[in-house]
Structure 1
């Protein structure tokens, strides 16, 4: 039972870590979007013909950051489910 309790605590800490990393990644993706918007406005004023390719490149990076945030949310959800199963199966029956 001590192993089940330890594993339960580790899984809960892992889910909190995933949620924290997800929030940080969403924040970074939003910051990238803000910088791209500023950069795009500066380029529009200069009428640079290559501005569209730069915008597309950074938009792709932004979408990858958002995709990884979704994966972290899914991992955190799975950690919570496993932790709840361990609690139900092993820890609650002990008390």
Structure 2
């Protein structure tokens, strides 16, 4: 039996979905942010609305077990390492001969 094809960029990453503990933690954070949003609505409605939107996003992440947006997705390919020792001087990660 074959595994189903990934439906998004995050499905092919091992551990893409959050476990129960992480979901509960996200839910608790969503409740705290929602309480903050509710308390700010009377004095600073702009801040309250912004916090409410964030609380909704965090709650959606808690329910689905996924991170919203591409900012949490891993890079598609790692960048190549910088060139080593381009000036000809010994570097700290190389063996140094102090004579």
TM-score, normalised relative to structure 1: 0.44
Of the two structures, which has the highest relative contact order with CA contacts closer than 8 Å and spacing of 6 or more? Answer: 1
TM-score, normalised relative to structure 2: 0.43
Q: Larger helix proportion, structure 1 or 2?
A: 1
Larger Rg: 2
